[in-house]
């Protein structure tokens, strides 16, 4: 049996399960689901969520396996990928070093820890750094094309 046929069969099974779970949710109705959720009973929605999580993990696993196999086929590709991963780790380290954390009260009354606050700041700084690098690379690429003409 071809791999493509197996993938189609598995996709059809997952799709059919998704449709069955969706009709089960629609059949139950909004009010019944809300009432059940208020008492801690999520049995109507849980199968669909579990299916979505299973599909997510399968997709991530397959993507990682084929990416690693593709990188392992060429040492040049592997070297390039490792350089980019190293650059990403460097940007993360710079953003983490530039961030500071303070305990922050949240709207629901809980408190965000200093560590959590520092990681939020790190994520924001990483976004700013990577966005700036992307814009600069587009500008340099455009300028290079204009100068070649």
Flag whether pLDDT at 75 surpasses 90: no
Q: How far is CA 24 from the centre of its chain?
A: 28
What mean pLDDT is predicted for residues 15-43?
88
Give kind and range of the element (H or E) at residue 51. helix 46-72
User: 70 with 60: CB under 8 angstroms?
Assistant: no
Q: How confident is the model at residue 59 (pLDDT cuts 50, 70, 90)?
A: very high
What is the enclosing helix (H) or strand (E) of 140? helix 114-148
Question: From the CB of residue 86, how many other CB atoms can be counted at a distance below 10 Å?
Answer: 10
Q: Are strands 111-112 and 104-105 parallel, antiparallel or unpaired?
A: antiparallel
Which residue do the tokens 């700041």 mark?
121
């Amino acid at each position: 049996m071809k791999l493509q046929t197996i993938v189609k069969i598995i996709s059809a099974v997952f799709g059919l399960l998704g449709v069955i779970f969706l009709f089960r949710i629609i059949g139950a109705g909004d009010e019944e689901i809300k009432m059940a959720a208020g008492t801690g009973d999520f049995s109507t929605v849980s199968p669909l969520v579990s299916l979505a999580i299973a599909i997510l993990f399968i997709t991530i696993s397959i993507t990682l396996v084929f990416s690693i196999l593709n990188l392992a086929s060429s040492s040049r590709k592997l070297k390039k990928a490792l350089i980019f991963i190293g650059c990403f780790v460097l940007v993360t380290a710079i953003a983490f070093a530039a961030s500071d954390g303070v305990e922050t009260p949240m709207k629901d009354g809980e408190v965000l820890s200093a560590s959590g606050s520092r990681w939020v700041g790190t994520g924001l700084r990483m976004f700013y750094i990577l966005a700036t690098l992307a814009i600069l690379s587009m500008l340099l690429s455009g300028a290079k094309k204009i100068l070649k003409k």
